[in-house]
């Protein structure tokens, strides 16, 4: 806290979305006059973190990285995914030079990275763990890492999963938790839900914190009330982590993300029933109330 006021750095948790730029948020979230290049700045006025998908598809230019830095602030945290060339095509092998180049390009934002996300494909199985272990030694020790696995061999409570979790704890690496129960409970009657069922992983929810910043990726149902029911178990787990001096990251998705900001706000209000959390600032689109009330 600063002068008794809670800052983002001392918040019990960080709330964020899967992206910061989405055209469907124009009138409800950003405000009608907001240009696409101004969306990140508007986003950081409300949320504490964001899941950076854009780096998964390509390494950005140096000018783009500098623009992201100019549009954000020191208390904000990005959680950028590593490029898919490294994680999905190379399976973390023979890519040390590519990782070095990527981290160098991203260096202006290093002090605003909550954790680097190593998202692994379904094909990355427990027998390939040594490749992940070697790969993680290529990062500077002060960089926070999060690993998301999708192969079911990491979810069967076998010795292989126990070994994986134990290694994460030893190294202080966060195991990213995918909670896709809500979206898979939705009937595939819309294009967005059908697409989500094809692309999103359907894995068990193992609510384990292996390091100081456990990340929940909550992939919502189209119906908000249904989402709040699915989120209910987290209302107990998240305070337990905070009591253990951890700062969880709660990342909210919906099938098309059109109403993700509203769902995130509703979930945050639920968390406020069990945690001492400052109110979220109003969405920038709400006239006359653009102040960062958490400061």
The answer to whether position 294 is within a domain reads no
Which pLDDT score is estimated for 168?
98
The CA distance from 265 to 11, in Å, is 16
- What are 92-117's pLDDT values in tens digits? 999 999 999 999 999 999 999 999 99
Q: Are 187 and 238 in contact (CB under 8 A)?
A: no
The CA distance from 194 to 255, in Å, is 9
CATH code assigned at 128: 3.20.20.410
> Which parts of the chain are beta strand (E)?
14-17, 49-52, 77-80, 116-119, 145-148, 174-175, 177-179, 215-219, 249-253
Which pLDDT score is estimated for 145?
98
Q: Are strands 174-175 and 145-148 parallel, antiparallel or unpaired?
A: parallel
For 110, the domain range is 8-271
Dihedral sign from CA coordinates of 23, 73, 147, 94: positive
Q: What is the largest CA-CA distance in the chain?
A: 56
The answer to whether position 277 is within a domain reads no
Work out the burial of residue 45: count CB atoms within 10 Å of its CB; fewer than 13 is exposed, 13-18 middle, 19 or more buried: middle
Q: Are strands 145-148 and 116-119 parallel, antiparallel or unpaired?
A: parallel
The answer to whether position 291 is within a domain reads no
The answer to whether position 289 is within a domain reads no
Which pLDDT score is estimated for 288?
43
Residues pairing with 117 in the sheet: 81, 146
Which pLDDT score is estimated for 9?
60
pTM value? 0.92
- What are 252-266's pLDDT values in tens digits? 999 999 999 999 999
Phi–psi pair at 253, nearest 5 degrees: -120, 160
The answer to whether position 69 is within a domain reads yes
The answer to whether position 276 is within a domain reads no
The answer to whether position 284 is within a domain reads no
The answer to whether position 282 is within a domain reads no
Closest listed residue to residue 150, CA positions, set 180, 172, 170? 180
As for how many domains the chain has, the answer is 1
Q: Are 77 and 112 in contact (CB under 8 A)?
A: yes
In angstroms, the Cα distances linking 72 to 36, 76, 98, 143, 195 are 14, 7, 26, 19, 31
Residues pairing with 132 in the sheet: none
Angle at 38 between CA 37 and CA 44, to 5 degrees: 125
pLDDT values of the chain reduced to their tens digit, one per residue, 295 residues: 343 445 556 799 999 999 999 999 999 999 988 999 999 999 999 999 999 899 999 999 999 999 999 999 999 999 999 999 999 999 999 999 999 999 999 999 999 999 999 999 999 999 999 999 999 999 999 999 999 999 999 999 999 999 999 999 999 999 999 999 999 999 999 999 999 999 999 999 999 999 999 999 999 999 989 999 999 999 999 999 999 999 999 999 999 999 999 999 999 999 999 999 999 999 998 754 443 333 2
In the chain, % of residues over pLDDT 70: 94
H/E stretch holding 135 reads helix 129-136
Which pLDDT score is estimated for 90?
96
Dihedral sign from CA coordinates of 253, 259, 261, 262: negative
């Amino acid at each position: 806290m600063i002068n008794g006021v809670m800052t983002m750095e001392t918040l019990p948790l960080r709330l964020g979305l899967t992206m910061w730029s989405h055209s469907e948020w124009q009138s409800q979230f950003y405000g009608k006059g907001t240009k696409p290049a101004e969306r990140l700045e508007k986003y950081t006025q409300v949320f504490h973190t964001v899941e950076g998908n854009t780096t998964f598809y390509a390494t950005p230019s140096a000018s783009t990285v500098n623009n992201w830095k100019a549009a954000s602030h020191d208390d904000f945290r990005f959680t950028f995914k590593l490029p898919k060339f490294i994680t999905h095509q190379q399976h973390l092998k023979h890519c040390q030079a590519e990782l070095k180049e990527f981290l160098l390009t991203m260096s202006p934002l290093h002090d605003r990275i909550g954790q680097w996300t190593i998202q692994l494909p379904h094909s990355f199985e427990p027998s390939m763990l040594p490749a992940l272990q070697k790969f993680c030694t290529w990062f500077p020790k002060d960089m926070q890492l999060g690993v998301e696995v999708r192969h079911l061999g990491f979810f069967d409570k076998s010795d292989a999963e126990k070994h994986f979790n134990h290694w994460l704890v030893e190294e202080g690496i966060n195991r990213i938790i995918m909670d896709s129960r809500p979206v898979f409970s939705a009937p595939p009657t819309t294009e967005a839900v059908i697409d989500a069922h094809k692309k999103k992983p359907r894995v068990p929810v193992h609510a384990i914190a292996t390091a100081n910043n456990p990340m929940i990726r909550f992939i919502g149902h189209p119906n908000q009330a249904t989402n709040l029911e699915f989120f209910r178990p987290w209302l107990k787990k998240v305070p337990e982590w905070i009591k253990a001096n951890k700062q969880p990251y709660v990342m909210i998705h919906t099938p098309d993300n059109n109403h993700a900001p509203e769902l995130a706000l509703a979930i945050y209000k639920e968390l406020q029933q069990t945690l001492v959390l400052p109110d979220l600032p109003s969405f920038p689109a709400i006239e006359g109330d653009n102040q960062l009330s958490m400061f």
